[in-house]
Structure 1
Amino acid sequence: MVPANLLALLRTLADARDTLAFGAFMRGPMVWLTDEELPDSAEEVRATTGGVKPGHAPE
């Protein structure tokens, strides 16, 4: 049986647009972000990528 956190990581790596899997991984035991920290980290990723989601080409 594959642990849920590892499955979430694999789903995130397979599809960078899968924000549910990314959130599940970030809240899991490998990273341990809290509910309050998760939106902050998402904003940081958007700022770092210039507003472009990972896996997407800029328009």
Structure 2
Amino acid sequence: MSYDLQQKQDREMRGRGIKTNLFLACLLISLNMLSIIYKRALRYTFQIHNLNLNIIQA
């Protein structure tokens, strides 16, 4: 009886660990994507800003 209970608890813990790992992996990937998008957006805004300055100077 206690052996079966122990196996069941082990299985539940393993399942929970896998779910947690999947959640953390998804979180990391989404943060990565957000930072890439943010950097690109910054780069584009700086390019537009430089273009505007060049137009004003010319």
**Same fold (TM > 0.5):** no
Higher helix share: 2
Structure with higher Rg: it is 2
TM-score (structure 2 length as normaliser)? 0.28
TM-score (structure 1 length as normaliser)? 0.28
